[in-house]
Amino acid sequence: MSKVTIIGSASGMPVANRAHASFLLEMKEGSYLFDVGEGCASSLVRCGVDQNKIFVAFITHMHPDHCVGLPMMLQMMHLSGRELPFTVYLPAEAVSATRDYLSTLYVFPEKLPFELRLEPIRPNPIYRDPELTVSAFQNRHLTGYQQLTAERHPQSHLECYSFVILVNGKKLVYSGDVGGIEDLRDLLAQTDLLITECMHMNPEDLLAVLAEHQVPRTVLTHLPMELEGKEPYLLQLAQKHGVEDTLVACDGLSFHL
């Protein structure tokens, strides 16, 4: 069994009916969460997901729409009486600051009734178990901050990753946020499922690249405000490019791999 559920489908701008970036991959032995955007915990509850089944989370980068759901997630786990360990893979630049931030929120990692492991994203594969393998590929999403970080925040290394997940002989690509279409193009060979943001690429360019790589199924998420509510337009565009199996994400959208 492997099932994908979109937990949050908003981009950086809050909208009424969406939590921010997150999706869940449910497997026989447990579930994996990719990104933990704002509103993730309450959306998991709305989607009927048992937090006890989630044992690993992977965070693409530290923009709030991809990671600030983590403290609430941990609080939910705490209040639910969780005892099972929970591991979060996140950019190495953020591990120590995240630990401090959690303590500032009185979510002291060492006081939780379960073991919390904050692990830096390291050379590939960053994670492997009998059910799946996850690799991370740094992209150019944060390069615009180069000057600012060099001057004021030298501990930042512009870490933003796309993930390639190998599961049941299938290849799933997840782009949290990218710098542009080239970041995605490099990863698409023999992809079975792509879950991609639509904010930092022109949808026409994206669909042309999907057609070129014959990606069998794509989920479009993290839509810019100008595409919000324009699902029929996006689906029409996908049809025009011959990218047949295209889904526009909403929270709770779910399908088997």
Contact call for residue 93 and Zn ion (CB under 5 A)? no
Contact call for residue 200 and Zn ion (CB under 5 A)? no
Q: Which of 35, 38, 65, 93 binds Zn ion (CB under 5 A)?
A: 65
Q: Please, which of residues 150-179 interact with Zn ion by CB under 5 A?
A: 177
Contact call for residue 63 and Zn ion (CB under 5 A)? yes
Smallest distance from Zn ion to CB 227, Å: 14
Concatenated DSSP letters of the chain: -EEEEEEE-B-SS--TT--BSEEEEEESS-EEEE---TTHHHHHHHTT--GGGEEEEE----SHHHHTTHHHHHHHHHHTT--S-EEEEE-GGGHHHHHHHHHHTT--GGGSSS-EEEEE--SSPSEE-SSEEEEEEE-STTGGGHHHHHHH-TT-----EEEEEEETTEEEEEESS-SSHHHHHTT-TT-SEEEEE-SSS-HHHHHHHHHHHT-SEEEEES--GGGTT-HHHHHHHHHHTT--SEEE--TT-EEE-
Smallest distance from Zn ion to CB 141, Å: 6
Whichever of 107 and 176 has its CB closer to Zn ion, that residue is 176
| Catalytic-residue membership of 205 | no
Contact call for residue 38 and Zn ion (CB under 5 A)? no
Smallest distance from Zn ion to CB 58, Å: 15
Catalytic residue among 35, 50, 65, 177: 65
Query: Any idea which residues carry the catalytic annotation?
Result: 65
- Name the site residues for Zn ion (rule: CB under 5 A): 63, 65, 177
